Amino acid sequence: MHLYRLDINDPKDFLASLGVESSGITIIEKKMELIFIYIKELKTPAVNILKQDALSIGAELAVPSGVITYAKTHYDCLLIGNKKHIEILSQKELAQPFGLKNVARELKSFLYTKEYPVQIMGIINANDDSFYPSSRFDADLAIGEIENMIAQGADIIDIGAVSSRPNALIVSADEEMNRVKIICDTIKGQKLYEKAIFSIDSYTPNVVEYALESGFKIINDISGASDDRLIGLAVKYDAKLCIMHMQGTPQTMQQNPRYDDVIAEVSDFFEARISKCESLGLNRENIIIDVGIGFGKTLEHNIILIKNMRHFSKFGCRILVGASRKSMIDKIIPTPIEDRLFGTLAIHLKAIENGASIIRCHDVKEHKQAIEVYKALS
């Protein structure tokens, strides 16, 4: 006889391989994953009620000293339990006062998240000022690089003509169109959209529509769906809209970015923007969210968002992450842009582990290898 301590990443698959009946898998799987939910500013009576309810079912609520004596009116706390515990509490607290009905509804949103296969999005910059020189291509070279990325394993190709690096130059709509038009025409003429999904990295409506007419299927909007016309175009062409969070603009975003709580504020942003998209007819299935690594965030903000990426799964949307060769790597360990591939892979694999399913990167071949090995180990 031997005993092993196991790390089980896919409980359903493991239980099936063990020979557990399907009905048993459903019951047992909910007990195998430990979930931590941080609750901020909960009324003290609610904390005490939730503490007792959690303990009664075998879960736990970690609370500060002073709660039992009502020393303060509100407290932060940490709920610890498995899926079954959270499922029970999401029903039980609906009958409780002091804001616990809202807690119950939020708990429920964490239970029914979707799992998506990981996709690699290769970057093509049709400009001459993006922060990574090797990603810049004129119209003639861009097509060759697109075909190269597809051969290397890219699922999506993201094409943009305007740099969004800090302090980037502002480009006119006409100039942006001039830069992407030939590329769009070639993709349409050669039917390259049959080989990969194409994404237009733009928030200029006429540029976006030209790309959609050329066979593109994703609008990568760094402005975060601030223009209703882009939502309308996504609906009209049955395209997906990627909503990115950014504090400020590319010209101002890194001028002392501040948040009281970066997870809460980015989450509230997505809540509002997704609601707006749905009200204008865009189905949630066609919405992708991007927390905007490096867009109005300090190193600390970026790390917090990557570590807590799983939180954003509650929206049921695909999560895109793009940290490719970004300056956060240099802030962790001083490294020139051309040597940041290794740090990029570390960040992106951690993001996948925490729920990201679209990885936007410059180095497709290396990401394909790393992700396939990661999947085999998982």
Q: Return the active site residues.
A: 326, 360
Encode the chain in three state secondary structure.
CCCCCCCCCCHHHHHHHHCCCHHHHHHHHCCCCEEEEEEEEEEHHHHHHHHHHHHHCCCEEECCCCCCCCCCCEEEEEEEEEHHHHHHHHHHHHHCCCCHHHHHHHHHHCCCCCCCCCEEEEEEECCCCCCCHHHECCHHHHHHHHHHHHHHCCCEEEEECCCCCCCCCCCCHHHHHHHHHHHHHHHHHCCHHHCCEEEEECCCHHHHHHHHHCCCCEEEECCCCCCHHHHHHHHHCCCEEEEECCCCCCCCCCCCCCCCCHHHHHHHHHHHHHHHHHHCCCCHHHEEEECCCCCCCCHHHHHHHHHCHHHHHHHCCEEEECCCCCHHHHHHCCCCHHHCHHHHHHHHHHHHHCCCCEEEECCHHHHHHHHHHHHHHC
